[in-house]
Amino acid sequence: MTTNDIPPMLGWDDVYIVTTRDGSDTLYSRSHNATYHSLFGAVGESKHVFIQHGLKTLTDRPSISILEFGFGTGLNAFLAYLFAITSEKQIQYTGIEAYPIDAEIAQKLNYPQYLAFPEEQDIFLRMHLEVSFISDSFHFTKLPGYTHVPADEEFDCIFFDAFAPGAQPELWEQSVFDQLYKLTSEGGCLVTYCAQGEARRRMEKAGYKVERIPGPPGKREMLRAVREWESERVRA
């Protein structure tokens, strides 16, 4: 990564902390006029969408590679890290974030305390301060954009956590899903909180088999898109 690739940090002028209904924090983005998580519960949403219906559906694999599209507060990465250290599952985690938050803001977020892992505060901060590290069974890398992901790399699960299509439409274009499909391993999946019809159709056009499943509190549905095994596609 060159100096020109290092993205600008978001400070207190750009975001502020909001406590959601389940007691966990999120951020409000002034530029996007949107919160990073559902106000019904940041941790509740992330656990439901990305851990329960993403990561935990792939635990039959000896190791799991994850690509997060929208690293944001680092909550999803921290939850994946906690899963790795409590399940002894090897996880390779790549987070993408064009506009990372300042470490001072990250330090104020209550996730380690809320999740009853205050001793892991240093790991949570390292996710914001460093671009790469290895801790126990968790291998972490952070990139400034999805175009920086090597074209020959594959991921078992993609956490698609960009702002909603109305706030960040450029990240929901067909070309984005076409690229993410190529990066998804056979039998792997993409999960997102969004259940918008146009997003679903673009995922299907890219090649995914998409299902609507019950969403987290405050949302009726979410989407889980699977790249089928080649043998299944041939039979179909």
**Ranges of residues in the chain whose predicted pLDDT is under 70:** 1-8, 231-236
* Contact indicator for 1, 144 with CB cutoff of 8 Å: yes
pLDDT digits (tens, 9 = 90+) for 211-232: 999 999 999 999 999 999 876 6
Cα separation, 200 vs 123, whole angstroms = 35
pLDDT at 10: 86
Find the CATH number of the domain harbouring 195.
3.40.50.150
HSE at residue 26, side-chain half, CA atoms within 13 A, is 21
The position carrying tokens 């892991």 is: 120
**Domains: count for the chain:** 1
pLDDT at 229: 86
Task: Please name the residues in contact with 124: beta carbons below 8 A apart, sequence gap of 6 or more.
Answer: 74, 78, 106, 109, 111, 112
| Parent domain of 81 | 3-235
At 70, which amino acid appears? G
DSSP class of residue 52 equals I
The position carrying tokens 């792939």 is: 58
pLDDT at 205: 98
For the full predicted model, state whether its pTM sits above 0.85: yes
Strands 90-96 and 138-143: parallel
* Contact indicator for 17, 108 with CB cutoff of 8 Å: yes
- What order do you get walking across the sheet with 34-35 strand by strand? 15-19, 25-29, 34-35
pLDDT at 2: 43
Nearest Cα neighbor of 173 from 205, 195, 149, 202 is 202
pLDDT at 121: 97
